[in-house]
Amino acid sequence: MASPKKKLHGLVAATITPMTENGEINFSVIGQYVDYLVREQGVKNIFVNGTTGEGLSLSVSERRQVAEEWVTQGRNKLDQVVIHVGALSLKESQELAQHAAEIGADGIAVIAPFFLKPWNKDVLINFLKEVAASAPALPFYYYHIPALTGVKIRAEELLDGIQDKIPTFQGLKFSDTDLLDFGQCVDQNHQRQFSLLFGVDEQLLSGLVMGATGAVGSTYNYLGKKTNEMLEAFERKDFSSALNYQCQICFLIYFSCLGFGVSQTKAIMTLVSGIPMGPPRLPLQKATREFTDNAEAKLKSLDFLSFTGVKDGNLEACS
């Protein structure tokens, strides 16, 4: 994998944790999963044990094992493996951060603790600082997802002076629709020292226009190729094509009923990749047979199950 000093940019797949039908982790398919991301989707950066990976539904031991497997299987294939080590317990988060450093991960990320919540910026930074200090050689990213954590501290406020407190801070995963807050983060990042990774897949083009340097998301597991085409169009300033790609992606997500839940993501990834992702862990429920059958029929109608990507002729361009 790449040197930890390499800036994280481009697409980052928020990986699924494959499971067996009885809810145990299916480590045996992770190597195949890595090859699929690289060869079929053109995605070489991953975010492990996050929301999509059900990290907070796994035991500490399981999270360690999952992280190790991704690092091992990704060696010489993936560019960067970032491990989410956030937890409600500071000690658990520190243990996971230290472990990530020991196994050769390329970075760590931390979500805000969301049961006993930090009530202001300083309290949150104190928590993050203690975790980052457990892996002082690894780039550190804050995972901002207020809709799930209930922690409403603005990302822009957090960024102000954060490297004075956390020298290894390298950026954030911004999983929120507040483009004003994101825009202010970009404004603070005028020297582009941070990786500002947008985390709302269906709004990525908006994030790019605002100044996102990359993106982390669940749909890049199976829409990475199409999203990379959008990024390439944006980079060459072909904004009409970039908009067309974003609309195609939104078409797949909404009109094909693909959904964004972990259960639905696992079902779609199984259909598209042919790699069994299994059910989610309780309290999440397995995607219904009706959902899976409908999704399979619609994906087939778009020739999407042939692993060649969506055929442009099957989707109308945005006007």
Tracing tokens 């947008």 back to the chain, one arrives at 198
129 is catalytic: no
Binding site listing: 52, 216
Sign of the Cα pseudo-torsion (210, 212, 215, 216, in order): negative
pLDDT given at position 188: 86
Among residues 35, 17, 36, 12, the alpha carbon closest in space to that of 27 is found at 17
Give burial (CB, 10 Å; 0-12/13-18/19+) of 164.
exposed
pLDDT digits (tens, 9 = 90+) for 23-37: 999 999 999 999 999
* Whether the predicted pLDDT of 319 surpasses 50: no
pLDDT digits (tens, 9 = 90+) for 189-245: 877 789 999 999 999 999 999 999 999 999 999 999 999 999 999 999 999 999 999
* Whether the predicted pLDDT of 313 surpasses 50: no
Residue ranges with strand state E in the chain: 10-14, 45-48, 80-84, 107-111, 140-144, 169-174, 195-198, 214-217
Distance CA 246, CA 220 (A): 13
Domains recognised in the chain with CATH numbers: 10-236 (3.20.20.70), 256-319 (no CATH)
Binding site listing for pyruvate: 52, 216
* Whether the predicted pLDDT of 2 surpasses 80: no
Write down the catalytic residue from 36, 141, 142, 143: 143
Weakest mean pLDDT among 17-31, 42-56, 251-265: 251-265
pLDDT digits (tens, 9 = 90+) for 255-295: 555 555 899 999 999 999 999 999 999 999 999 999 888 88
Distance CA 203, CA 27 (A): 32
Write down the catalytic residue from 36, 142, 173, 245: 173
* Whether the predicted pLDDT of 305 surpasses 90: no
Among residues 239, 248, 143, 249, the alpha carbon closest in space to that of 199 is found at 143
Q: How confident is the model at residue 1 (pLDDT cuts 50, 70, 90)?
A: very low
pLDDT given at position 309: 41
pTM score of the predicted model:
0.92
143 is catalytic: yes
